[in-house]
Structure 1
Amino acid sequence: MNTVLITGANRGLGLGMVKFLIENKKAGNIFATCRKTSEELKSLSEVHDNLHILNLDVTNTAQYNDIAEQVSKISGEQGLNLLINNAGITTKFTKLNLVKPEQLMENFTINTVAPILLTKTLVPLLKKAAETNSDKTMGVDKAVVINMSSILGSIAQNDQGGFYPYRCSKAALNAATKSMSIDLKKEQILVASMHPGWVKTDMGGKNAPLDVATSVRGIFDTIGKLREEDNGKFFQYDGSELPW
């Protein structure tokens, strides 16, 4: 794939994805968006000319067109092969009697609204990549959107309750993935949801069983295998399909 854009790339999974792509020479141009640039991401960009850091607060939708223009200037006719909507937020386990409206709205804004509207803005670039690679099969060689979801967004697998802000926002993101997969199929743009596993990050916590490298390796292995029949599905990092 020539061009990849990853949101929330300054730490955790997002930074892990950037490092994986660089180390394995998996992409021509890598666009890493973040609110604040971490020292590690900055250091990587100073060594690798194909890593472009774009300042973006995903809650500021007014920035989206500018992001699209910056990507377009560099990617040209190649367009955008892979968009990973990774930026996210979570509140800790929230019981019904403790849930607050601001928690619900913040989670929904960042985890659901932002991926929908950013994808909407970047569709012309995704479409350009699909058209440029019209001789390829549907998948990452054309154009793919990955919405980073969570197993906590699975309604079928919810046997613990709680987590209202996070669960609801990720279930809504999964619904958006399904609609995107239908709406963008005619453009040959594949869309899927991905659960990264429970990963040792600031969000996942130190008790998580998976390290970032293992999760990221699985994510990109799974992305690389996606074909037309996988459009609109919900996968775990290891490629196994999850129920909605």
Structure 2
Amino acid sequence: MAPYSILITGANRGIGLALVREFLKDENIQTIIAGARNPEAAEDLKSIKDDRLRIIKLDISSDESIDRAVEEIKHIVNDKGLTVLVNNAGVHVHMVTKQRVTREQLMEQFQSNVFGTIILTQALLPLLQQASSLQQNDDFSIDRAAIINISSNGASLERNNTNLFWGGSNFFKFLGYRASKSALNQVMRTMAVDLLEDKILSVSFCPGGCRTEMTRRVGVEAELSPEESAEALIKSFNKLDKTHNAGFYNRNLEVIPF
């Protein structure tokens, strides 16, 4: 078995693009929808030659863009519904060390990392429910219906202390990002409770430190390529069942404390 359809947001680069390529390796997946804020400029994404790939314009910070994208997705998946939503799109506003964080910088991160995810997910919920209803068993899996949020180790409250490397925010440089990803985890867990009767999985994953534009911009020397992270993530996605619902995991399906 495999999911019939998958939507990945922020699919034009980094982990999102790597997830598109990795999912396409599974010939049993019928449709992969790649959302990008500016598809015309997404050269790497457009270079992928596979009839199962559909590229759509999707800016999760814009309600109008979300509404248009959802209508397009409805026509793509038809009566099969949307099987998997991967909420990958997000931002980190780079802060200069000891610079004062502004309301605008905080808002930008919450708009993409939290608010946009909520608005998009609720708009797509009927399609996820439709996909889930096609199954006649009580199983939870990505083959049925799932919401997967790409979070971060930095979201963990328990790990935010002076004894660990990633404690604190490095003089506010990561404060907005950490706070927004913690909020994203709360959104995920709330949805897991709300959607239990619909048998729709809701989970969060940290992809690990990857060599992406974001990590380069903040001066982090990441150990993983996006491709290595995507390969591990999808292996973990395929193992998900009801016991993982409402959980927070690293790319290898190891529990991260909230």
Same fold (TM over 0.5): yes
Deviates further, 168-177 or 26-35: 26-35
1:71 shift after superposition = 1.3
Map 1:1-244; keep pairs closer than 5 Å.
1-25=3-27, 27-37=29-39, 38-44=42-48, 47-92=49-94, 98-135=100-137, 137-159=139-161, 160-162=167-169, 163-205=174-216, 207-244=221-258
Question: 1 or 2, which has the higher helix percentage?
Answer: 1
Aligned length: 242
Cα RMSD (Å): 1.5
Q: Contact 2:57–2:65 (CA<8 Å) still a contact in 1?
A: no
Structure 1 runs (4+) deviating above 3 angstroms are 92-97
User: Unaligned stretches of 5+ in structure 1?
Assistant: none
**TM norm structure 1:** 0.94
> What are the superposed Cα offsets for residues 55-105 of structure 1, whole Å, 9 maximum, x if unpaired?
011110122222222112121121111000000101236667621111110
SS in 2 for 1:23: coil
What is the distance in 1 between the residues matched to 2:82 and 2:104?
Answer: 34
What is the distance in 1 between the residues matched to 2:43 and 2:244?
Answer: 37
What is the distance in 1 between the residues matched to 2:131 and 2:25?
Answer: 23
Q: Contact 1:134–1:142 (CA<8 Å) still a contact in 2?
A: no
Percent sequence identity is 34
Pair 1:166–1:234, CA change in 2 (3 A): same
1:147 shift after superposition = 0.8
Q: Contact 1:95–1:164 (CA<8 Å) still a contact in 2?
A: no
What is the distance in 1 between the residues matched to 2:29 and 2:221?
Answer: 32
What is the distance in 2 between the residues matched to 1:96 and 1:157?
Answer: 22
What is the distance in 1 between the residues matched to 2:28 and 2:15?
Answer: 17
